[in-house]
Amino acid sequence: MAHSSSQGVKRFFTRWLSGSSRSQAHYSYTQHLKRTYGDLGAYSDIQTLAAQRTPHPTRHEIRCHPDLPFGCSLGALIKRFGTPQHRVPRPNDLTDAIAAYRQQWSGHKVKSEFHFSADGLFYFNQSFPYLSHGERETVARYFIGNYCGEEQVDLDEEKLADDKGHEIIFTRDVVFSIHYLDRQSPALAGESG
């Protein structure tokens, strides 16, 4: 990964991780989300990373969940997953709301953040803070398999991309994370709602 890309990812995760230890209260994590996404720098960093990755075509439409396509509403998310543990209304001029859940996936702790603009869901990430190197590879292969079958994907150089402008980027610098972006969304195109 190029030096400037690495710096952007580190800035993103420094913002994301500042103040997020397991022992902190609910209020602190909500404040962490406000600090991380209070300006548009975090979105800019992930878009820069996305622009530097080579698209690897997928066989299927990319969704954060089979029932939840990009553009879905916060209400649809809550109907599917229940009330989020953390919810931040209007953290910046672009984002109407962030809903965050602490979940389990195949026995692993995962933090999931769903970002909504006036046009619906435009960005989603899953962060797996406690995975070993081998577990990271297993999780990555599972998600890649869902979209690309047995094809080889270089996690450091490529991103998964469907024909609707949806992308998945894997990052492994600080913690293992999976970022889902709707690059066609007016929110990520720099337009406001």
Mean pLDDT of 95-99: 97
Mean pLDDT of 175-179: 94
**Structural domain boundaries, residue 75:** 3-182
Closest CA to 167 of 46, 45, 77: 46
Q: Is 49 helix (H, G, I), strand (E, B) or coil?
A: helix
Residue 192 lies in a domain: no
**Mean pLDDT over the full length of the chain:** 86
CA 140 to chain centre: 14
pLDDT digits (tens, 9 = 90+) for 111-121: 999 999 999 99
Residue 157 lies in a domain: yes
Residue 52 lies in a domain: yes
Residue 134 lies in a domain: yes
Residue 187 lies in a domain: no
What pTM did the predictor assign? Answer: 0.83
The label of the residue with tokens 């439409």 reads: 61
Q: How confident is the model at residue 106 (pLDDT cuts 50, 70, 90)?
A: confident
Mean pLDDT of 44-53: 94
Residue 39 lies in a domain: yes
Domain count, the chain: 1
Q: How confident is the model at residue 62 (pLDDT cuts 50, 70, 90)?
A: very high
